[in-house]
Amino acid sequence: MDYLENKNWPEGFVKRMQQQLGSEADAFFNSLADPSPTSIRLHHSKGRSSFDLSDHVKWCDTGYYLEERPFFHLDPHWHAGAYYVQEASSMILDAVVQKLSLDDQPKIWLDMCAAPGGKTGILAKNLRPADVLIANEVVSQRKSVLYENLIKGGYLNTFISGEKSSNFPEEFADIILIDAPCAGEGMMRKEPEAINQWSERLVYSCSILQREIVRDAVKSLKPGGYLIYSTCSYSPDENIDNVDSFLRNHPLENLDFQFPDDWNITEIKKGTATGYQLFPHKIRGEGLFIAVLQKKGVPKALPIFSKKQTRIFEKPEGLFEKFIQQPNEYLNEITHDGFAIINASAESVAREVRINLPRAELIANIGEQKGKDFIPSHFLAMSGIQSDNLVTIEMSMNESLDFLERKTPSFEIDHPMGWSIAKYEGSNLGWMKNTQQGWKNYYPMNWRLRNRK
């Protein structure tokens, strides 16, 4: 079949894939002519959607395929962070993380190239109350998108940072995810620009950048820690050849996994290197490569927190206790714009992050004190830890979309004065306040719904 003539695929890409796949090349390119599957991943603690969820993603218990791509921006559950629109192949990370052998010690998880935050959400799904997660993105524009998705996810014990990979301290993190910048071959089916920008030089330059990022990450990984490496490309240069290079140049060992046969995941080997490729002609998705490596050496004991050391996180002092369920389970950090909290059990590793990454920001900023009033944050509404005693108002679809457009609410029945949470079919949308002057809508202005068509 003349793929060059029929599909405008780059000649170098076609030749390489024919060499890689042999008799499977026809099936591979034919799959790229089909429409891209649409899939979502439900939030692990507040998962809801407005869609039929009967078609399950095999490797993720909260992942589902949809029959067609709807207008997600018109679904209040999407704004509420109740689900994330995520390509099904990338959800394999969930199955991989669950195969790691992790002891009970508190862990620092680092997503080094985190934007837009889909895989960060999978790490958050697997985070334990005593662990912390750092979502890092060096590109400021992408970092703002990441920030919005983390807030809507309501993830506790999560920091956001914008550091270069070389800026992280040595032997710092227990698990590092590098979803590496790549040539984007897995995007070719749904983004024509990925075809236009592809070149053999791009593949080569990406492979060099990936090796530089991994070099830095290995230094920041604790002995015994795990490095998860993934790309959305098919090229050996970016995938198995790189894994082979990582093993030869760094104190790393490769982990082998067994996946069910009906997942149709392809194991790829080169020397002692092993990786796993999801191809679009074998699975319902755009494709992904993933490999897991473990740093050689014996893990060091966690530093013991001394009572003589200056405390960074303190017990809440009643300023916002009425807004939070079980406030004694959390510690509080005073920030420049309010109060941020962590699980009390995560104090030791959160302290490590705060000392070593002073510019990192805790996502769980729950609000600020203004005079005698406490102004709750949007995160608090998204987190699910708010007090059961707070007033909630269930809205219709039209009322919810009005609220998301940041219109002033109006109700035919009386509601108590003070703060209320707007809800749609059980999903929290944000804060409203009933005052003597009428209702006020506190949905974040920058994230408001702008197009209702």
Segment 217-236 shows an average pLDDT of: 97
Annotation marks residue 206 as catalytic: no
The residue among 41, 1, 38, 5 whose CA lies nearest residue 18 is 1
Report the share of the chain in percent with pLDDT over 90. Answer: 81
Least confident range from 2-16, 217-231, 348-362: namely 2-16
Q: What is the pLDDT of residue 320?
A: 74
Provide the token pair at 52: 């039929």
Residue 369, Ramachandran bin (φ over 0: left; ψ between -120 and 50: alpha; else beta): beta
Pick the catalytic residue from 60, 182, 206, 232: 232
Question: Does residue 269 have a pLDDT over 60?
Answer: yes
In eight-state DSSP terms, residue 153 is H
Helices (H), 80-117: 92-97
Question: 355: how many CB neighbours lie within 10 A of its CB?
Answer: 12
Residues 6+ apart with CB under 8 A from 393: 411, 415, 420, 421, 422, 423, 432
Residue 178: closest CA among 253, 238, 244: 238
Q: Is the pLDDT of residue 190 over 90?
A: no
H helices of 154-284, in order, are 192-197, 200-220, 240-249
Give me the helices (H) in 250-327, please: none
End-to-end, the C-alpha distance of the chain in Å comes to 41
pLDDT tens profile 71-118:
999 999 999 999 999 999 999 999 999 999 999 999 999 999 999 999
Determine the residue type at 404.
Answer: L
Sign of CA dihedral 295, 301, 307, 309: negative
Residues of the chain with CATH 3.10.450.720: 390-453
For range 163-177, the mean pLDDT: 96
Mean pLDDT to the nearest integer, 243-247: 98
- CATH 3.40.50.150 domain position(s) in the chain: 41-49+52-295
Parallel, antiparallel, or unpaired for β 55-56 and 63-66? Answer: antiparallel
CATH architecture of 390-453: Roll (3.10)
pLDDT for the residue 189: 86
Per-residue pLDDT, 79: 97
Task: Say how far apart CA 266 and CA 263 lie, in whole Å.
Answer: 9
Q: What is the mean pLDDT of residues 395-408?
A: 95
Mean of pLDDT values over 302-316:
70
Distance CA 183, CA 195 (A): 10
**Superfamily name and number for 41-49+52-295:** Vaccinia Virus protein VP39 (3.40.50.150)
Beta strands 108-111 and 427-435, pairing class? unpaired
Residues 314 and 304: their CA atoms lie apart, in Å, by 17
SS3 of 262, please? Answer: helix
How large is the average pLDDT for residues 269-292?
97
User: Which band of pLDDT confidence, cut at 50, 70 and 90, is reported for residue 373?
Assistant: confident
pLDDT of residue 299: 79
444/439 Cα distance (integer angstroms): 16
Instruction: Please say if the pLDDT value at position 222 is more than 70.
Output: yes
* Residue at 228: amino acid letter: I
The type of residue at 89 is: S
